[in-house]
Amino acid sequence: MPKMFFKESAVDVLLRLGDRLAEVAAERGVSQLTVGRGELRSLLNPGGGRSKDVLSMALRRFVLAESVSTPRWCLEILDRRKPLIIFRRVGRFEC
């Protein structure tokens, strides 16, 4: 697995993931989603590819906190290796 060297790349991956999960949650009309390896792969790159691996690198190398949040959403990281993530829209639940 290649290495991720820049923190900016890791932050960009996490922000794109959070924004994409916010779109999916809004489409489904839910405020919380639990996503695992398969869902992340299909969500981040529907055509196939390495997006899940890039997310795994970002989580393992740069994310030290158990959660990442913005004013709109929160990602709670349950397992960095698989990865397993709980997404919450902030208006409904707090991280």
Phi, psi of 29 (to 5 degrees): 75, 30
Does any domain span residue 1?
A: no
Q: Does pLDDT of 1 surpass 50?
A: no
How many domains are contained in the chain?
A: 1
Angle at 77 between CA 11 and CA 19, to 5 degrees: 50
pLDDT digits (tens, 9 = 90+) for 22-72: 999 999 999 999 999 888 877 777 676 655 577 887 888 777 788 888 999
In a domain, 24, yes or no: yes
In a domain, 94, yes or no: no
pLDDT of the residue at 34: 94
Q: Please tell me the predicted confidence (pLDDT) of residue 50.
A: 58
Q: Is 69 a member of any domain?
A: yes
**pTM, full prediction:** 0.80
Q: Model confidence at 87, in pLDDT bands (50, 70, 90)?
A: very high
